[in-house]
Structure 1
């Protein structure tokens, strides 16, 4: 199906992504940027950088929970497609005739998962990172020196891949917004797309506000409580 306009009686716009999904996306983007700033321009003991990393982990856990119980376009089951669907979409995209999705398209869905995975890896390795002088991650008291050295090394190695994925994600969204029929950047700000016939479910079903707060509270408990139960120090 294509993105052809609906009848004049149809509202001009329809919900694409609910508010918790958008807040998680933009909040995570801001926190990743602040993590970079606090790493190079923060305090010597990297206390703010550690708080930044813990906040990232909270948002990541929230997004994983919201991907299970949130709005229809936020759920992983709704936008993670199999190889055949991804290849089919890529082929039609190269021909200039991609189907239009209200939520994430098959390629975009896997890009979202890849970004979440590498940010999670960056955040988790940060828990075990130390410079052996003044910086000690929350989980360093309960692991071996070898684990700390390995985690510290991976924390640095993953960084270029994270930057590359972020750049690819931004470029893809800009390309869709400037040259395609979907202004993805505007849609992720407003939550809406023009009313049309989309390949996936339309209109989107939003997740409940109470459920979002419950997921956020559970995320804080999982991150800080998990570190404490494992014997680490959850508060830098």
Structure 2
């Protein structure tokens, strides 16, 4: 397929890209604040991650076509078939996540949801000064609090592992299949064969409302303690 047969097609809305790159930055901030013992910043960063993940889940049902779970979540068998063809160089015709990438998105969202939820109930992590506690730590027993604190630390390692695999996959697609997955997530569009229709995009007013509701929900939960 020559370059003349390709056109620019918008595939990602700004909301998906916002969540993607904001969480990348927030994970770095969460790690740094833990290392430095900045409990207030760490808590704020975690609550922001929770807000963005809740919004992304809602946007996965109500948002743009490429953001919806039903658009990119296929059967595990379809994902395996896709990976079986991985060594074969071929033009990138995917609008949104491919069959394997969709499952990685689901895994990352699940891990990112667990992280701030367990952080709300964590207490006295060694990185922080004595007595540092999550906003809801007093609502559970000391044993449950200790278990959730350990899970909070272990889950972050799983997030780093999943993120590392994600980065390696992006690099592998670039080197083996010549598919550029990075720039579309930065710019929102990619080169696709002429005649491919742009996906339907969700209302920005709906997105702003869902984001505000997610922020209010997180704020309300943190006040329960």
- CA distance in 2 between partners of 1:62 and 1:126 (Å): 19
1:202, CA displacement in angstroms?
3.8
Name structure 1 gaps, 5 residues minimum.
none
Determine whether 1:75 maps to 2:68: yes
Residue in 1 aligned with 2:139? 142
1:99, CA displacement in angstroms?
6.8
Residue in 1 aligned with 2:163? 166
- CA distance in 2 between partners of 1:183 and 1:157 (Å): 32
Residues 1-27 of structure 1: CA deviation (Å, up to 9, x unaligned) = xxx46976x7x3001111111111111
* SS of residue matched to 2:9: strand
| Bigger mean CA offset, 205-214 vs 51-60 | 205-214
Residues 119-150 of structure 1: CA deviation (Å, up to 9, x unaligned) = 21111111110018321101112111111000
* SS of residue matched to 2:122: coil
Q: 1:185 aligns with which of 174, 182, 195?
A: 182
Is the 2:93–2:193 Cα contact (8 Å) retained in structure 1? no
Q: 1:218 aligns with which of 191, 207, 213?
A: 213
- CA distance in 1 between partners of 2:3 and 2:71 (Å): 23
Q: 2:112 aligns with which of 99, 119, 133?
A: 119
Q: 1:104 aligns with which of 75, 78, 97?
A: 97
1:42, CA displacement in angstroms?
4.2
TM-score, scaled to structure 1: 0.86
TM-score, scaled to structure 2: 0.90
Is the 2:92–2:179 Cα contact (8 Å) retained in structure 1? no
Is the 2:89–2:178 Cα contact (8 Å) retained in structure 1? no
Structure 2 vs 1, CA of residues 53 and 141 (structure 1 numbering), >3 Å: closer, same or farther? same
| Bigger mean CA offset, 138-147 vs 94-103 | 94-103
1:94, CA displacement in angstroms?
3.9
Q: 1:51 aligns with which of 44, 54, 73?
A: 44
Is the 1:66–1:212 Cα contact (8 Å) retained in structure 2? yes
Residue in 1 aligned with 2:81? 88
